[in-house]
Structure 1
Amino acid sequence: MYLGWDYQGLVKQEDTAETIEQHLFLALSTGCLVESRETSNYHRCGRTDKGVSSFGQTISLDLRSSLSQEQLAADPNMTEGELPYTKILNRLLPEDIRVLAWRPAPPDLSARFQCKQRTYKYFFPRGDLNVQSSYNGLYPKVMNSAARFIVGTHDFRNFCKMDVANGVVNFTRSIVSAQVSVMSRDPHMSSDSSDTSGYDMCVLTLVGHAFLWHQVRCIMGLLLLVGQGKEEADVVQELLDVDSYPRKPQYSMASELPLNLFHCEYEQGTQWYMNQECLAQVVRTLQSTWTKLNVKASMVRAMLLDLESSLEVPVSEQTSCLLQGVRSKVYQPLLKRPTCGSLEARIEHYVKRQRLEVMRTEDQSPLSAVSSDCPGAGPS
């Protein structure tokens, strides 16, 4: 688990030490649990970018064990008498990076390739959005009407940042479910009131097998435009038709701040081992974080209550800051905007520079590619 707001992403980078993996492997090395990253058989489930958090990030790697080879051979799932991994690591990690649980795994298990399902959550205030409310029926189910189009297997090239340079040329992915819901009401609204508030907190829950670079943030960016009434819900369906719209319109993706890789699911294996003492300490730390953030939010809310009571024309702009980029005075519909380069043009660009080798299907559609800059990327 980590709160990624103050970090430069999960993956270790050469130009900064403020990544989750940098702190993780420093703790692993200091705790004498691995010799090096290169020899640890390390795999991560999902790559999260700068500012993105995760409650359920999962990794697989080889760690030093206190059990003998004979004990492990007799029972590969033995945990009794094993090193207290969570206790060792949480003592060495920053407070906003925590190990919640561990379990034995076969040496050939990959946290990335053997993950069956990933769940992302994107938290946001209602603002002036039309979202489905579980408290009343006053708002049309506009955002969910748009979200339902992405469920299923589709080519999502118009809903991501195409990472062709690293060998990603296949953008077909499967979304299991997509649901926008109200998770908590504005505490300043009467509990028996049927009115909604721009301060109601909502969440998009997105479940899929695998995700593309910035896919969730692009999807959320489009859903925000639909929720604000700037686009019709079926614009999502139209952009999924890559024959009619082979080039992605230029639009802003949603902010990274509210995004969380919440769950990573695997085939049923041995039970996760959770140290109750460590778990209680994580809860205390998160409660402290919640208190500090909620005190700040409550203070700002009190100021807003006073100021908003003096406004002649109400303002409800809580979600505006979640869409990045400069806001134009005159809104231009998505399908009339300038477009990005096509997938085929990008592939040709890198092939000409001998930075990409593409394998194609019988109908010459790109199936997979290997980047000369990143040979380990392989097919995606």
Structure 2
Amino acid sequence: MEEALDYRNWPAERLVTRVAELEAKLKALTQEAKGLPVDSPSQSGSAKRRAKKAKKDSPNAFDASRYSTRFIALKFAYLGQRYNGLEYVANNPTPLSTVEEELWKALHKTRLIFPTGEAAERGEISWEGCEYSKCGRTDRGVSAFGQVVALRVRSARPVPGLEPRKKKTGDVKEAAQEEEAETTEEPEKEFDPIRDELPYIQMLNRVLPHDIRALAWCPDPPEGFSARFSCEERRYRYFFTNPAFAPGWLDIEAMQDAAKRLEGLHDFRNFCKIDPTKQISNHERRIYHASIEEVDMRRHPVGSNGQDRSIDVQTPKLYSFNVNGSAFLWHQVRNMVAVIFLVGQGLESPSVVSDLLDPEKTPTRPKYEMASDAPLVLWDCIFPEKGDPERGRDNTKLADADGGDGKFGRNGIMDSLWTTWRQRKIDELLAGGLLDLVASQGRQTSLGEGNGAESHRSTRIFEGANSARAIGKYIPIMQKERMEHFSVINARYLEKKNLKDVEKAAGQSVEADE
């Protein structure tokens, strides 16, 4: 007689296989007793296939219906150099992945979202059914330290009337204790919407790329909250050095004058790229604040090479162009920075900003190059409390809600950010050390000096990149060739779109006739 087996310690997969095996034996015995032909070995393979299917449909399979969900706002940051911008567009392949792609993959892998629709069924990236919205759409190469999205995610809150799933265990004593606990009636503990919730920040940061970090989440966004439309202020910072290149000193005072002219409600048609797909006819935007500010450089990026530079006024300094506004047009910040850099180099007067803001004097945009993408950061997105006259400047609505246990310690946010920072810091120190070494050898000159003959041959333009661009003779902005009026660009797009729609409809009509 076969010895009785103890199935209590068996894993679920093995139990499923065992059940399928016993069912096959039982069927064979039944057929033998009835005088029917017994299944052949090839037929017994179907039992294995049923076992595999049973494995997929086993109680361990993830069942979204067993979980409650909640609507939250998620704040995260990313270094944008490795990404093709924030936004993912279906059926539009890009050379680099987007930040949204990586965020979706992390949310899907941690089973925090349950997308619906045909795209989700095909395993494609889709936010359908997630109540998803995003605040600021950054371009390729641009970073963000305060990006915000809103979406519906899985929650740890128990579903009313649904019994919790039994835990897998091989410990008989533990199983007995659980059974005893179930028979002992205790008042159900009230669910704390923050302390008892899933550790969203830690879960996401475990699977996100190292240069994308979840920072905080808001547990109770107000009714009707949208990460895009509820945001009342977006803050950008664009970093640069002075000198901008060697030699290439910038006039910070003139740049400050130019920046201040941007404040207020203005028509920024000459500081943006026209996107005809949006059909925008109103280019007025309000800038709350614009300034040039020196950045604290207690840790100098360039070593001192043993020299005392405490009174050296020509030591390189770090600055940022800070701009806060209600909303921004496509490439608006990078175009504003480009013009301010021209002012700083003495190629334009600060008054050129006023000229470009005057739609009567300058109805169409001059063809000038916008600034580089890498130094630009979406610094923060502000969501004010109701009735807040200061527009929520402290951004308290998005305070870290995970109890502070996801910031420090092993695998915390600071741990991973330190790794990224240290790698870049070593690169900076090595490059700075080499720069100092070369500067200390041979004839000693100031950063403001250079080859005079070369400087007369060609003008070099600083556009925020790591090096200046030689352009020959400089042509002032107001004398440059102009682009078409935005109404002409919009009309041409509509004409082409309508023509395509007509051709498509005609093609469908022909197919129907056939």
Question: TM-score category by the smaller chain?
Answer: 0.7 to 0.9
Q: Residue 341 of structure 1: CA displacement?
A: 1.2
Is residue 233–residue 382 contact of structure 2 (8 Å, CA) maintained in 1? yes
Q: CA deviation at 1:45?
A: 0.4
Bigger CA radius of gyration: 2
Q: What code does the residue aligned with 2:226 have? A: S
Q: For 1:152-231, what aligned pairs fall within 5 Å after superposition? A: 152-185=264-297, 186=300, 188=304, 190=308, 192-193=310-311, 195-197=313-315, 199-231=316-348
Matched, 1:345 2:457: no
Cα deviation, 1:42-62, whole Å, max 9, x if unaligned, reads 100000011111100000001
CA drift at 1:304: 1.8
* 2:354 is the counterpart of 1:276: no
- Please name the residue that 1:330 is paired with: 473
The residue number in structure 1 matching 2:151 is 61
* Equivalent residues of 2:195, 2:402 under 8 A apart: no
Matches of residues 1-380 of structure 1 in structure 2 within 5 Å?
1-13=77-89, 14-16=92-94, 18-36=97-115, 37-68=127-158, 78-104=193-219, 105-106=221-222, 108-127=224-243, 128-132=248-252, 141-185=253-297, 186=300, 188=304, 190=308, 192-193=310-311, 195-197=313-315, 199-268=316-385, 269=397, 271-280=399-408, 281-309=412-440, 310=442, 314=446, 320=462, 322=464, 327-354=470-497
CA distance in 2, matches of 1:76, 1:247: 59
Per-residue Cα deviation, 1:106-160 (whole angstroms, up to 9, x for no partner): 462100000011100111111134354xxxxxxxx11000000100000001001
* Contact 2:462-2:468 within 8 A present in 1 as well: no
Structure 1 77/332 Cα, relative in aligned 2: closer, same or farther at 3 Å?
farther
| Structure 1 residues 311 and 250, CA gap change in structure 2 (3 angstroms) | farther
C-alpha distance after superposition, 1:295-339 (max 9, x if no partner): 212222222223234357655699836259963111111111111
SS across alignment from 2:329: coil
Question: Are residues 245 and 355 of structure 1, via their aligned partners in 2, closer, same or farther at CA, if it must alter by over 3 Å?
Answer: farther
Question: How many residue pairs were aligned?
Answer: 344
AA at the equivalent of 2:314: T
Q: Contact conserved, 2:338 with 2:463, CA < 8 A, in 1?
A: no
C-alpha separation in 1, matches of 2:468 and 2:239: 19
User: Do the aligned residues in 2 keep the contact of 1:252 with 1:325 (CA within 8 Å)?
Assistant: no
Task: Give me the TM-score of the superposition, normalised by structure 1.
Answer: 0.83
Partner AA of 2:322 in structure 1: T
* CA gap 1:320/1:306 in 2 versus in 1, 3 angstroms: farther
Letter in 2 for 1:327: A
Structure 1 gaps, min length 5: 133-140, 357-380
Cα separation, 2, equivalents of 1:76 and 1:222: 55
Q: 1:325 to 1:265 in 2, by over 3 A?
A: same
- CA, structure 1 residues 91+213, in 2 after alignment: closer, same or farther (shift >3 Å)? same
Which has the larger helix fraction? 2
1-structure distance, mates of 2:256, 2:463: 21
Structure 2 SS opposite 1:100:
strand
- In angstroms, what is the RMSD of aligned CA positions? 2.8
Higher relative contact order (CA 8 A, sep 6+): 1
Task: Give ranges in structure 2 of 5+ residues lacking alignment.
Answer: 1-76, 116-126, 161-189, 386-396, 451-459, 500-514
Q: Among the aligned pairs, what percent are the same residue?
A: 33
Alpha-carbon deviation of 1:278?
2.2
Q: 1:177 to 1:312 in 2, by over 3 A?
A: same
> 1:77·1:270 contact (CA, 8 Å) conserved in 2?
no
* Equivalent residues of 2:142, 2:377 under 8 A apart: yes
The separation in 1 between residues aligned to 2:335 and 2:381, in whole angstroms, is 21
Are the aligned partners of 2:157 and 2:191 in contact in 1 as well (CA < 8 Å)?
Answer: no
Deviating more after overlay: 253-262 vs 6-15: 6-15
- The 2-side partners of 1:100 and 1:10 are apart by 17
Paired AA for residue 84 in structure 2: Q
Contact 1:119 1:264 in 2 (8 A): yes
> Which TM-score applies when normalising by structure 2?
0.62
Q: Is the 8 A contact 1:182 1:201 kept in 2?
A: yes
The residue type equivalent to 1:242 in the other structure is P
